[in-house]
Amino acid sequence: MTALLHARHVTKVFSSGLISRAKTVALLDFSLELRTSQPAIIGVVGESGSGKTTMARLLLGLETPTQGEVLYRGKDLRRLTRREWLQFRRDVQVVFQDPFEVYNPLYKVDHVLETPIEKFRLAGSRHEAENLMQQALQAVGLRPEETLGRFPHELSGGQRQRVMVARALLVKPKMIIADEPVSMIDASLRATVLDNLRKLNTDFGISIIYITHDLTTAFQISSNIIVMYRGSVVEAGDVSRVVKQAQHPYTRLLVSSIPHPDPNRQWSDEEPPSEIGSQSKDEVGCKFASRCPYAFEPCLKTAPPLYQTEDHRTAACFLYREHATLNTEKMDNVFLYE
Amino acid sequence: MGKLSLPMLPLLQVSNLRVHYHTPYGPVKAVDGVSFNVEAGERYGLIGESGSGKSTIALSMMRLLKSPGQIESGEVYLDGVDVLELGDEQMRRIRLAEVALITQGAMNSLNPVIRIREQIADGFRNHDKNPNKEEIESLLQRVGLRPDVANMYPHQLSGGMKQRVCIAIAISLRPKLIIADEPTSALDVVVQRRVMQILKKLQVEMGVSVILIGHDMGLMAQFADRMGVMYAGKLVEEALVRKLFSKPQHPYSQLLMESLPSLEEKTAFQLARGSPPSLLDLPTGCVFHPRCPYAMERCIKDVPVLRTIWSEHRAACHLLDNGKARDLDQ
């Protein structure tokens, strides 16, 4: 069965500046095959500049790869017919970070739900359309009578984001890409949005790619995780193992930097390594080497491949060079499906 | 705790502070009668969600509140002086010298075309001092930056480095109080840890008081000695950090604790009821009552006052009015 979405050796380079043409490699040789036969939640974790949002935009067809290709049902996104493109936009939905910007303040909340119904001709009558909107809102735990007919500013950030999840659900997608969906929402309301996403996966069989900088929510919601650093995958696999026994030194640094909400569990006193300077374009070797406490000679010369360190995990680090290398195109083979 | 010391006034005493933003729809009660003290050398945390009034408190203490914001009433005594009564010129002299502010966007307030050295020197000059090269370089070293950063421009620095420059400026005149309002919210988690550790190290070295304002319970647990919880313009609970985490008394604090995601085990999400109220149209009685699982009739009518329930622990909840703090373990 062809995969719903398949990124193959995707690299994205951004050029900036008219004269110097400084080049930034936002994503390097990224491959991921997303099948819908096993709907799962995959967490993609990284800091700013890790390439996680570029990856999402490439998967959504909002950016075109500099190298490689993104296939939708086996066909390059750039070569889809109008009809196929419309189907793609229906199958793959997105929830963005900012639940404030996506709304037009002059339109009622209904508008964001009516638009996909019209665009995809989901309803034959006004009555049918209203039923669909109500069902979608109820599925995310919102009361239609308290939500419809209101203006965006009358809803909280959490409620607005849940309306966006309801909107994604309306078109019965196969997959939802959620890019930092809770990072602008207050802590006490985050759980409701995360719970919505989890339910879409379990109750409606929708695959979810959960993109975040927050390892903790990724752990809570995902079954598998991909950790990215400056455009490359550094570690991936079963989320519990990656978080609890991180293998890549960068993942370990990330885990140890989390401020635990527990006064009895203080940060260790060791000084975290220095911050990244500016990226040099002719950098060879592991991108983490300059900050890595374990770096040795090979790390400075060549970029480490992904090693399959265990059944359900992989790490791109020479510390694990005795393990077999993993075909990057098969990275998802290490994922554990429950 | 149990130590003998002369009775001293706290460094900062905020009493009954009320700040409103005047809008065409009526006054937004951003800060609605908040009182708290910060001792000399203490790390005090002020936590709250967006719209809880925590940043408005910071701006009011610095006297940087802009129209339509207006301080309606209250007192802010810093080292015996009510800063709300000071003239503009007196206040300008106190800023940086006595009390400094570091904000989330501080790093973006650095002037892009002026070298770091000059920007640090600027603070001195505003107070009629002229720093030499060594003074500036030693400030940079104290925040973990190389001395040659002095010759750089802001665009040559990462976000974390710029934020550290802002800390260097904040400590340059050895203030008694530093207000850090979400100082690391724009930074990545690894850099955040570094910046917070530097701030903590400096706090200990200088014996300065720091008020950390934020929404991240994790940062509070890592940084603060004592903390206050804000909700809809009110301080609803205040206690030593350890006590607040182990025995939160106000139902809102309990909600915050329950909604903390864990890295230990996957749990069912704790779904909060409702959303914070509109500050234009606050509920009667306790502001939290529409979301409170324990709300009683009294909570709809009477506003609960913040009262001491045991040593160094205050909470504003009618459930605690009979003098009995609830033990969560039971």
Q: Between B263 and A235, whose confidence is greater?
A: A235
CB contact under 8 A, B221 and A141: no
Q: Which long-range contacts (CB under 8 A, 24 or more apart) does B243-246 make?
A: B243/B312, B243/B313, B245/A261, B245/A262, B245/A263, B245/B217, B245/B221
* CA separation, residue A242 to residues A255, B116, B197, B263 (Å): 10, 41, 26, 11
Angle, helices B189-206 vs A249-257, to 10°: value is: 50
Q: What is the mean pLDDT of residues B95-109?
A: 92
Q: Which of the residue ranges A2-11, B145-154, B260-269 would you say has the lowest mean pLDDT?
A: B260-269
Residue pair B309/B320 in contact by the 8 Å Cβ criterion: yes
Smallest Cα–Cα separation from B107: which of B164, B192, B171, B156? B164
Q: Which of A165, A267, A274, A338 best probes binding to B when mutated, by most B CB atoms within 10 angstroms?
A: A267
Of A159, A257, A276, the CB nearest to B275: A159
Residue owning tokens 């400590």: B171
CB contact under 8 A, A276 and B158: yes
**Under DSSP, is residue A231 helix (H, G, I), strand (E, B) or coil?**
coil
Q: Which of A186, A241, A290 best probes binding to B when mutated, by most B CB atoms within 10 angstroms?
A: A186
* CA separation, residue B200 to residues A61, A255, B162 (Å): 45, 21, 17
Q: What is the pLDDT of residues A188-242, one digit of tens each?
A: 788 888 999 999 999 999 999 999 999 999 999 999 999 999 999 999 999 999 9
CA-CA distance, A34 to A331, in Å (whole number)? 11
The model's pTM is: 0.90
Residue owning tokens 């324990």: B294
Which residues are B157's β-sheet partners? none
Pairing mode of beta strands A67-72, A5-16 = antiparallel
Pairing mode of beta strands A92-95, B26-38 = unpaired
CA-CA distance, B52 to B48, in Å (whole number)? 6
Q: What is the pLDDT of residues A68-96, one digit of tens each?
A: 999 999 999 999 999 999 999 999 999 99
Helix (H) or strand (E) holding B103: strand B99-103
Which chain B residues are Cβ-neighbours of A259 within 8 angstroms? 189, 192-193, 196, 216, 218-219, 221-222
pLDDT of residue A20: 67
CA-CA distance, A304 to A320, in Å (whole number)? 10
For chain A, say whether B225 makes contact (Cβ under 8 Å).
no
Which residues are B101's β-sheet partners? B179
Which chain B residues are Cβ-neighbours of A47 within 8 angstroms? 188-190
Angle, helices B251-258 vs A187-204, to 10°: value is: 40
Residue owning tokens 């070569």: A79
Q: What is the pLDDT of residues A61-73, one digit of tens each?
A: 999 999 999 999 9
CA-CA distance, B116 to B139, in Å (whole number)? 11
3-state SS record for A233-300: EEEEEEHHHHHHCCCCHHHHHHHHHCCCCCCCCCCCCCCCCCCCCCCCCCCCCCCCHHHCCCCCHHHH
Of B194, B256, B269, the CB nearest to A195: B269
pLDDT of residue B9: 85
Query: Is pLDDT at B229 greater than 80 in this prediction?
Result: yes
pLDDT of residue B8: 75
Task: Please name the residues in contact with A331: beta carbons below 8 A apart, sequence gap of 6 or more.
Answer: A31, A32, A226, A233, A236, A306, A314
Which chain A residues are Cβ-neighbours of B270 within 8 angstroms? 191
Output the CA angle A58-A59-A61, nearest 5 degrees.
Answer: 65
Which chain B residues are Cβ-neighbours of A192 within 8 angstroms? 269, 271-272
Which chain A residues are Cβ-neighbours of B49 within 8 angstroms? 186-188
State chain A's mean pLDDT as an integer: 90
Predicted confidence band at A303 (pLDDT cuts at 50, 70, 90)?
very high
pLDDT of residue A199: 92
CB contact under 8 A, A47 and B267: no
Question: Across A118-231, where does the E strand assignment appear?
Answer: 175-179, 207-212, 224-229
Residue pair B173/B123 in contact by the 8 Å Cβ criterion: yes
How many helices (H) and strands (E) chain A has is answered by 11, 12
First to last CA, chain A: 20
Smallest Cα–Cα separation from B235: which of B61, B34, B20? B34
Smallest Cα–Cα separation from B251: which of B315, B329, B322, B300? B315
Residue B157 amino acid letter: L
What secondary structure does DSSP assign to B213-263, as a single string? Answer: EES-HHHHHHH-SEEEEEETTEEEEEEEHHHHHHS--SHHHHHHHHT---S
Residue owning tokens 């374009």: A281
Which residues are B231's β-sheet partners? B234
| Ramachandran assignment for B144, one of left (phi > 0), alpha (psi -120 to 50 degrees), beta (any other) | left
Smallest Cα–Cα separation from A255: which of B3, B193, B279, B196? B193
Q: What is the pLDDT of residues B194-215, one digit of tens each?
A: 999 999 999 999 999 999 999 9
State chain B's mean pLDDT as an integer: 92
For residue B264, give the DSSP letter.
S
Q: Using omega within 30 degrees of 0 as the cis cutoff, is the peptide bond preceding B68 cis?
A: yes
Output the CA angle A256-A261-A263, nearest 5 degrees.
Answer: 95
Which chain B residues are Cβ-neighbours of A191 within 8 angstroms? 259, 261, 269-272
pLDDT of residue A68: 96
Query: Is pLDDT at B92 greater than 60 in this prediction?
Result: yes
Q: Determine the residue of chain B that is closest to A271 in CA distance.
A: B194
Which chain A residues are Cβ-neighbours of B192 within 8 angstroms? 257, 259
Query: Is pLDDT at A277 greater than 70 in this prediction?
Result: no
Helix (H) or strand (E) holding B71: strand B69-78
Predicted complex ipTM: 0.86
| A144-158, A263-277, B159-173, B250-264 — most confident range | B159-173
CB contact under 8 A, A257 and B270: no
Which residues are A212's β-sheet partners? A45
Residue owning tokens 């800063």: B83
Residue owning tokens 């974390």: B160
Domains annotated for chain A, with CATH where assigned, are 5-242 (3.40.50.300), 270-298 (no CATH)
Q: What is the pLDDT of residues B16-71, one digit of tens each?
A: 999 999 999 899 999 999 999 999 999 999 999 888 999 999 999 999 999 899 99
CB contact under 8 A, A263 and B50: no
CA-CA distance, B126 to B144, in Å (whole number)? 25
CB contact under 8 A, A258 and B189: yes
For residue A174, give the DSSP letter.
S
Which chain A residues are Cβ-neighbours of B247 within 8 angstroms? none
CB contact under 8 A, A216 and B262: yes
CA-CA distance, B94 to B81, in Å (whole number)? 10
The separation between CA B190 and the C-alpha centre of its own chain, rounded to angstroms, equals 22
Q: How crowded is residue B262: how many other Cβ atoms within 10 Å of its Cβ?
A: 13
CB contact under 8 A, B266 and A220: yes
Predicted confidence band at B260 (pLDDT cuts at 50, 70, 90)?
confident
Q: Determine the residue of chain A that is closest to B161 in CA distance.
A: A275
Smallest Cα–Cα separation from B218: which of A157, A196, A215? A215
What secondary structure does DSSP assign to B145-202, as a single string? Answer: --GGGGGS-GGGS-HHHHHHHHHHHHHTT--SEEEEESTTTTS-HHHHHHHHHHHHHH
CA distance B75 to chain A (A): 30
For chain A, say whether B196 makes contact (Cβ under 8 Å).
yes
**Under DSSP, is residue B75 helix (H, G, I), strand (E, B) or coil?**
strand
Q: What is the mean pLDDT of residues B234-244?
A: 97
For chain A, say whether B262 makes contact (Cβ under 8 Å).
yes
Which chain B residues are Cβ-neighbours of A275 within 8 angstroms? 158, 160-161, 190-191, 194
pLDDT of residue B326: 53
pLDDT of residue A278: 44
Q: What is the pLDDT of residues B155-198, one digit of tens each?
A: 999 999 999 999 999 999 999 999 999 999 889 999 999 999 99
CB contact under 8 A, A186 and B50: yes
pLDDT of residue A63: 95
How many helices (H) and strands (E) chain B has is answered by 10, 12
Helix (H) or strand (E) holding B32: strand B26-38
